[in-house]
A and B are shown apart, each in its own frame.
Chain A
Amino acid sequence: MKFIENLIRSIANETADKAISRMVNDQYTENLSATIPVGQKIGMANLMEILMRSAHGTPVPRPLGSPIHFSPWEKLLFNPVHLFRMPTPEKVAIDTSVTIGPRARKPLTISIPIMIAAMSFGGALSKNAKLALAKAATAAGTATNSGEAGLLREEREAASLFIGQYNRGGWMNTPDKYMQLDAVEIQLGQGAQGSASQRTTPKNIGEDYREVYGLKEGEPSVIHSRLPGVDSPEEFIGLVGRLREETGVPVGLKIAATHHLEKELQIALDAGVDFITLDGAEGGTHGGAPTLQDDVGLPTLFAVARASRYLARKGAVGQVSLIATGGLVTPGCMLKAMALGADAVYIGTAAMMALIGDQIVETAPFEAATSLVVYTGKMTSELDVDRSARNLARYLGACVTEMEQVAQSLGRTALSDISKSDLCTLDADIARTTGLQWGWASPDMQDEALEWRTFPAAVSPERQPGRPTRETEEVSVSAYSI
């Protein structure tokens, strides 16, 4: 054994010596180490995607969404209390339940404010993964979501609360399917794809997939950019009314967050939706074009803050539930989204990672962990459904416990009671746009301090004598680093 170890060390040493010598002596242009500055210049992920595009000639189906950190959640902090308001005694249980669509004839009440995001069977995940998600959601007393798929009977049976997507592929859009749902989410877009169309080629469609989607052999599955039958706002309003009347369950709208947010929300309110799901630009997917992921949409933080303000202005708070999703990977982010106005959150990527949990060792080091859960993965049969469900249920429990700890420190008795007044921000621009208080200044100094941070004199010296009001400010501090 010792001999083999020495032999391996000797070979490794020799190889490393030769590689280093070549890197030192070769011209930079002919040198392997040239990839280091090139990689730094364009980024390793971009470099890999350039190579993939050049090899395949098609958009690269990048899994799990954009790696760009769009929402500055770390710039928001909760405000603990000690005396001015007392912390919640530890004997007092924190209420974690949420009712989605309180106006619906049959509202949906979940035990924790975290739900499992839309990830479709076939289009994204294997049947085993979907079953594990449904079982975990049931154990935690929350809901799981079908994603853009047909009705997978086993998933429906395993999930005590099941939200189904009335989707642009049309696979859930018949009464025999949507009447079996606990809530209907009309899917018009998602954070990682905008409202772009998607297509799964027949080679990636197995028999079970065809059965659930009602596809013929050799037929691709296509998600259209528009929902079939909805070519105008009026048709959408009609659809919502019909589904609400027919099902009695909460009927909601899911869209990719966008700068046109308020216009979209107004149509949703006109339609009388029971809930609105906003998927921020950070939203994940099984595989989507990098350009749609990195360059399209609005970050979750700003989308939630704007939507919450709009719903408040329209008197819809408490009537229309707001669900936030997209890039919410820590309990802190989830709770901050709720404090900004979301009633509940969906998690996708974090749920998948938690579900795989300790089974990651089955794939390492030669396969990606996702090969255990994606429909086309090489190791989907290796996923232990019950173990996965247990992992995810534990994760959900731990996340909510951490949220409860924050609630205790804020002196709150329900997660839904946590609001913007429990947050401050370290960023002056976020303070101005979201209405959060700026942590750099005391509450009584907010207006003055935020005005001081605008530096109008730097662009227009003639205005120096009179400080601008918040309404007249033109240039914010973000353009000038202090």
Chain B
Amino acid sequence: MAEWNDMKQTIEYLSSEIARIETMAGTLSSVEHEHYRKLTGFEKQELVDIAVEEQSAARQLGTIKQMCLNMSRRLDGMLQSMEPGAGHEVH
């Protein structure tokens, strides 16, 4: 039973941290997106190349957000199946 509770708490911890990562990724993605917008205002090719990298970073942060959402859903499913009455209790 103690092991079961440990596992449940670990999953709750992972779920909460993933939610934080999701929020941070979303914020950073917006920042990178804004950088891309500003950098494309310059004529210099080097800056435009950096802008393209910023844009790719913004998209990849957006992907991290999406991955976090997918993982949260799976963890929530695991937590629900661990609730009393879900049929997996350890007696």
Contact = CB atoms under 8 A, between A and B. Distances in A.
Contact of B70 (A99, A111, A139): A99
Q: What interface size band does chain B fall in?
A: 10 to 19
Interface stretch (B11-19, B51-59, B76-84): B51-59
Nearest to A96: B59
Looking at chain A's contact residues, the main secondary structure is mixed
B66 A109 contact: yes
B69 to A, nearest CB: 9
Nearest to B55: A397
B62 A96 contact: yes
A109 to B, nearest CB: 5
Interface in B37-91: 49, 52-53, 55-56, 58-60, 62-63, 65-67, 70
Q: What interface size band does chain A fall in?
A: 20 to 34
Contacts of A110: 63
Interface in A60-104: 93, 95-97, 99, 102
- Among B55, B62, B67, residue most surrounded by chain A Cβ atoms (within 10 Å): B62
A112 interface: yes
Contacts of B66: 95, 97, 99, 109
B21 to A, nearest CB: 14
Contact of B59 (A107, A141, A390, A394): A141
Given A93-B29, A93-B30, A109-B67, A397 B62 contact: no
Contact of A393 (B52, B62, B70): B52
Interface string A107-119: 1011110000000
Looking at chain B's contact residues, the main secondary structure is helix
Given A93-B33, A109-B63, A141 B56 contact: yes
Given A93-B29, A93-B33, A102-B70, A139 B62 contact: no
A111 B52 contact: no
B26 to A, nearest CB: 9
A141 B63 contact: yes
B55 A111 contact: no
A93 B58 contact: yes
A404 to B, nearest CB: 9
A97 B70 CA distance: 12
A390 to B, nearest CB: 8
Contacts of B58: 93
Interface in A138-195: 139-141
User: What are the 4 A-B residue pairs with the smallest beta carbon separation, nearest first?
Assistant: A97-B63, A111-B63, A141-B60, A97-B66
18 contacts: A93-B58, A95-B66, A97-B59, A97-B62, A97-B63, A97-B66, A99-B70, A107-B70, A109-B63, A109-B66, A109-B70, A139-B53, A141-B56, A141-B63, A390-B49, A393-B52, A397-B52, A400-B59
Interface of A: 93, 95-97, 99, 102, 107, 109-112, 139-141, 390, 393-394, 397, 400-401
Given A93-B58, A141-B56, 4 more contacts: A95-B62, A97-B65, A141-B60, A397-B55
